[in-house]
């Protein structure tokens, strides 16, 4: 089974802190994604990556950056956390056989 793991289930940070959210997949997938989930808004794409050291902005990249130094690991970085970044963050990887995205369990981040 494909496994996508995220470093923390729950995280509490203070405004202005630098925050790292880590995601690891074990299926050698090239494509990885970070989404943000908010009530009433569904999931919105923050950043995605097609390969090591490659990244593309999604729909809401402001305030975020990403890093992909190894194929299996895709990190989301909040350079200076703000309260409006309090949310559930979901990582996913994509496989072509079968054709679907696999999601991690999510990290619920609270910024106070």
Partner 1 sequence: GNSVTQMEGPVTLSEEAFLTINCTYTATGYPSLFWYVQYPGEGLQLLLKATKADDKGSNKGFEATYRKETTSFHLEKGSVQVSDSAVYFCALSDQGAGTALIFGKGTTLSVSS
Query: Quick one: 86 or 101, whose CB is closer to partner 1?
Result: 101
Residues numbered 82-111 forming contacts with partner 1, rule: CB under 8 A:
90, 92, 94, 99-106
**Per the omega criterion (within 30 degrees of 0), is the bond before 50 cis?**
no
Burial class of 59 by CB neighbour count within 10 A (0 to 12, 13 to 18, 19+): exposed
Contact between 45 and partner 1 (CB under 8 A)? yes
Distance CA 50, CA 31 (A): 4
* 3 state SS of 60: coil
Identity of the residue, 29 or 78, whose beta carbon is nearer to partner 1 in the bound complex: 29
Residues forming contacts to partner 1 in the complex (CB under 8 A) are 4, 31, 33, 35, 40-45, 48, 50, 56, 58, 90, 92, 94, 99-106
């Amino acid at each position: 089974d494909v496994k996508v793991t995220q470093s923390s289930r729950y995280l509490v940070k203070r405004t202005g802190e630098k925050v790292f959210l880590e995601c690891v997949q074990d299926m050698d997938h090239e494509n990885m994604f970070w989404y943000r989930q908010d009530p009433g808004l569904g999931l919105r794409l923050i950043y995605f990556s097609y390969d090591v050291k490659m990244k593309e902005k999604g729909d809401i990249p402001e305030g975020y950056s990403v890093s992909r130094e190894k194929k299996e690991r895709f990190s989301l970085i909040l350079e200076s956390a703000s309260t409006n970044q309090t949310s559930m963050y979901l990582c996913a990887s994509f496989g072509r056989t079968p054709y679907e995205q696999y999601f991690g369990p999510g990290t619920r981040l609270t910024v106070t």
